[in-house]
A and B are shown apart, each in its own frame.
Chain A
């Protein structure tokens, strides 16, 4: 079946612009996660959605970052007024539920110039 998909695969933007990243999870997966991975670094948790519960936003680095999820489907991660330190790969993962194996999308490589 289809895996997790993300778009765009690459995004180059100018400092100060807003960007929107999209994630399509595996159908039926109730849990959805966003991570950030800087070059040569580990995964940094950003936000977690579980069903209709309030999202866990504890990993968002600043109020420039926000994310939404429509029901148990598509999620968008928005970064406002991008900064150069936002340059990273943004990975989305979905899971049948909390604590289960996470399936990752290919990521969006964001470059802020």
Chain B
């Protein structure tokens, strides 16, 4: 089983839609969680950290469920500019590095 698993998609949604991605992780000792965004042929950039109590940043909401070992990202009122690959990132307990999921591809359609 992969340390971090994501549905690769693609998710194709119309502008204004709400879309949610889930990510599961295997190491229950994981402590740090992030969502990164990667545009086509660009480097990944941090979208938001994920806190135990859940957190919101504008149209983006991140949730953490430690009991079920999954993280979610909710995007409300999707914009064309939200089209990208969303990477789930976990400190997988190795105390050495973050582990990146393979990403979920989102395309927001006009």
Contact of B97 with A104 in the complex, beta carbons under 8 Å: no
The DSSP consensus for interface residues of chain A is loop
Task: Give the distance to chain B from A92, nearest Cβ to Cβ, in Å.
Answer: 9
Cross-chain pair count, CB within 8 angstroms: 45
Whether A56 touches B97, Cβ cut-off 8 Å, given contacts A42-B87, A101-B34, A104-B44, is: yes
Chain B residues 27 to 83 lying within 8 A of chain A, measured CB to CB, are 31-32, 34, 42-46, 49
Task: Give the distance to chain B from A94, nearest Cβ to Cβ, in Å.
Answer: 12
Q: Within 8 Å CB of A45, what residues of B?
A: 97, 99-100
The DSSP consensus for interface residues of chain B is loop
Encoded as 1 (CB less than 8 Å from any A CB) or 0, chain B from 79 to 96 comes to: 000000001000100011
Query: Chain B, interface size: which category?
Result: 20 to 34
Contact of A104 with B96 in the complex, beta carbons under 8 Å: no
Encoded as 1 (CB less than 8 Å from any A CB) or 0, chain B from 13 to 24 comes to: 000000000000
Q: Within 8 Å CB of B102, what residues of A?
A: 41-42
Q: Which residues of chain A have a CB within 8 Å of any CB of chain B?
A: 33, 35, 41-43, 45, 48, 50, 56, 58, 91, 98-107
